[in-house]
Each structure stands twice: as C-alpha cells, then as structure tokens.
Amino acid sequence: MRLRFLTPFAVLTVVVFATGAAPAAERGPNFVVIFIDDMGYGDIGPFGSTINHTPHLDRMADEGMKLTSFYVAAPVCTPSRAALMTGCYPRRVGLATGSFHAVLFPGDRHGLHPDEITVAEVLKKAGYATGCFGKWHLGDQPKFLPTRQGFDTYFGIPYSNDMWKGHTGWHFTPLPVVRDSLIVGEVKTMEDQAELCRRFTAAAVTFIKENKDRPFFVYLPHAFVHHPRAARKEFLDRAKNPDQVTGAQIEEVDWSVGQVLHTLRELKLEEQTFVLFTSDNGGSRGCVNRPLRGGKGSAFEGGLREPTVAWWPGHIPPRSTCDELATTMDLLPTFAAMAGGQMPTDRIIDGRDVSALLLGDADAKTPHETFFYYQGKNLRAVRSGPWKLFASGALYNLDQDIGESQNVAARNADVVARLKGYLAAARDDLGDGKNPGKNCRPVGVEANPRVLLPRPGVAGDAAYAPMTPADRRGK
C-alpha cells in the first residue's frame, strides 16, 4: 500500500505524547524545490536527452514521477519566480515585468510586495524552517529580500548572474553575494561563476542537516544554466555535449540533485520529503527544447512547459508519468494542503491543490479549466484541455501536435469561440498590455532605491544610483 500524508483532520485524531511533542507521522512532509535557470525541456535524460549524462535525475524519475505538462507562468526570470512564490499569475501581483525592463534590474524600485503571502510564509506559519539558496530576482531592496518574504535564511545572488561587469550590453553594477541581508562577497570572475552551483548546493545541504529534526522547506533556485556559463573542470572534462560548457552545467545541476537526494537518504528522510525539480522558463542558446516549439521568452510551449520530476518515496508512485496540466502556481496551495497550513483567504490565488495528481490517484484530473500564456504584460494564448488558442487566432491540439506545427482553427470553429471567451475573461480579470485587470494587486515599490554595491570609479550617492535605461552600453 502506498503511504499518504495525514490530512489536517486526521491529525486531530492522533494522540500527542505527554511531553507535548507530536509523533513523526503527524508532521507534514519536508519540501525541496530545485529551480533551474533557462534549462530546456529536452536537456535531461528523463525527457529524452542523449547528450547530457544525468544519472541522478534518471534515478529520481525512476523512483518518482515525470510531469510532462508542467508549466511556469512566464517565459522569463522575474515573473516566473513571482508566480512560484505567490501562487498567482505575475500580472496579478504586479510583476509581469521589471519597472523598465522585462525583468528586475539592480536597484529597481519594484519588487515583490511585502503584503503578498509567499509559500515560504505559509510554511513558516505551519512550523517549518525555511531557507532559500541561489538566485532570488524578486527585488534587491531590503524589504524585498527573501528574509523579509518568509525565509529564515538566505544565501545567494539577488538577481541574474549575467547582471555583472562582464555583460556586453549593459554597464551593470557589481554582482553581490548575499547572506541573509548582508553582502558577504562578489562574483567577479568566470571562476566565481563556475562555483555558484557548488556553493548554493552546499548551503542547501547544510540547512537540511541542521533542520533534520523539524519540518523544513528548501528553495534552491540555481543560477545555472543562465548565461554567462562557466563550469568546474571536473564537469567540463567529462561533458559529451557539443556545447561543452552548457553540457557541463547541466551535468553539474544533476550532481546537485544527487547531493540533495543523497543527504535525504543518509538522514533517512526520503519518505518524509517531497522534492520537485523543474526550470524557470524554456531553454536559451545552447539548450534543447525539442520536441517543443520555441524557447526562453516565447509563448510557444518551449517558453513555459518545463522538464519536471517529482520525488517522494513511499508516496509518489515510482516510474510514473502525469500528463495532466499543473503549474508552479500550484505549489503554494499543494504544499499548504500537505503541511496542514493556512491558505490566504483575503485574495485571489490562481494555483490549485494538485496533490491528487502528484500522489498518482488513478482518477485525478487537472483542476485547471484554463491556463493563460503571458509574455510580459501581453496575453498571448490560452490552453484548455488539449486545445491552445493564440490571441492571433492560431489553434493547436497539443495532444496531437506538441510541436505546434499545424494550425487547426479553420476546422474547429466551436473550440475557437469557446477559447476566445476565456481570453476575454482573462483580459477582464488580469489585464492585457496597457489595459489593467480588475483583480490585480499592486507591485512593491521602494521610494529611494539603491544598488547594493557601488559603481566602480563613482563617488558619493551617485555610486549607488539605481540602474536605468541610460546604463545600456553605447548610450
């Protein structure tokens, strides 16, 4: 028989020991979310790669579940991460873009609003230790940092690893390494870039060991495989991918997964821990998105459908596959249900509890009637069941045509009409382009933003001035 977590109602029937400590069966599972940056749908073994060696992910899929229709809510970094943290479409929480760019820049006045309720906050209130290790990219001002958004501790970089002095298109300020709210280092060289995966993994493993006797939530958003790509020599030497550095980074990400899973097994926590592996958007240059069309930044499937593996021995059926639609927005309500936490009741949450899908219930179906594809603030498409309709009018049956190569709108007028109705509802609810939606909430704003590290060679307050479009090279 497959083991299941206890529901909050079942927990009420459990007898608590005289010491006041709850028995192990009462607590919810631990949660680990490994969030890769810019990795393609076809870059790992469980999703068909034959050029990247990913034995740990292969084993994870063999012991767990592949989710083949798992989506992020945006095809670029900041909005994708906002959706995971809040369980909401990025437009709902004001982070469909940065203040002047597709993503947040150093010193951006915008960030995740402190009044938003994150998955970390939900779990922290349920008694979990919470740690974030890696790339944040939801605001670098003090009130936007992870430790102000529900995480007990943080170690990582506050935005993308390409936002540094080596960028050829922008004059970026220095890239800091932050521990909690203090700057403890800087990414200065390509050798520093190559160490990011190892450092974030080590911090996550240490956190797991330190919190092994209580429920914990680990959010491990890697900077790999975002450009600029660098990798440690041991991975470069054995990579077989024609794009050697990209292959080495993917294989080091697999190593990171192995480190986390080995630690859980070593501590005998594997049957108490739910682990999810996925990517923040489609693959960029050098990655493989096949058989999907498009990649990072695109509203085609390659921009938002991600290679996803779920693992929880004794609970998730081994060697299983789920083709039902699920999203990163579902993590907040799903984790809340598993942990016995409290969902926000004063606001719209777009995610749904998909625990039945993850636990392999035979009759489980997606709770989503629709999924909307946004590029920045622009509504591009909607999926309902197998059908995907673009606002431009093209219709695809994703069950029959995952590569979106055959527009079948002309012979499915009834489907087009129905999905157009969904698009109209999304425009009213979430907005489209410059037109606001009626149910959107404000973005976080810092009145006097400053970059975290000063601009080299600049004196006084000007050294800490936030980046603007004037920082583009050639301006």
Partners of 8 in the β-ladder: none
Give Cβ neighbours of residue 90 (< 8 Å, ≥ 6 apart). 73, 74, 78, 79, 80, 82, 83, 96, 374
- Extract the tokens encoding 14: 């459990």
Dist CA 150 CA 132 (whole Å) = 10
For every residue of 141-172, which 3-state class applies, written as one string?
A: CHHHCHHHCCCCEEEEECCCCCCCCCCCCECC
In this structure, the chain runs to a length of 475
What is the DSSP track for 294-323? --TT-SSHHHHEEEEEEE-TTTSPTTEEE-
Contact predicate 333/87, CB 8 Å: yes
Using DSSP, state whether 179 is helix, strand or coil: strand
Active site residue 197: no
Q: Is the peptide bond before 242 cis (omega within 30 degrees of 0)?
A: no
Q: Active site residue: 53, 110, 113, 137, which one?
A: 137
Give Cβ neighbours of residue 127 (< 8 Å, ≥ 6 apart). 27, 214, 215
User: Hey, how many other C-beta atoms are within 10 angstroms of the C-beta on 6?
Assistant: 16
Active site residue 77: yes
Q: Active site residue: 53, 77, 113, 132, which one?
A: 77
Contact predicate 147/139, CB 8 Å: no
Using DSSP, state whether 339 is helix, strand or coil: helix
Q: Among all residues, which ones are annotated catalytic?
A: 77, 137
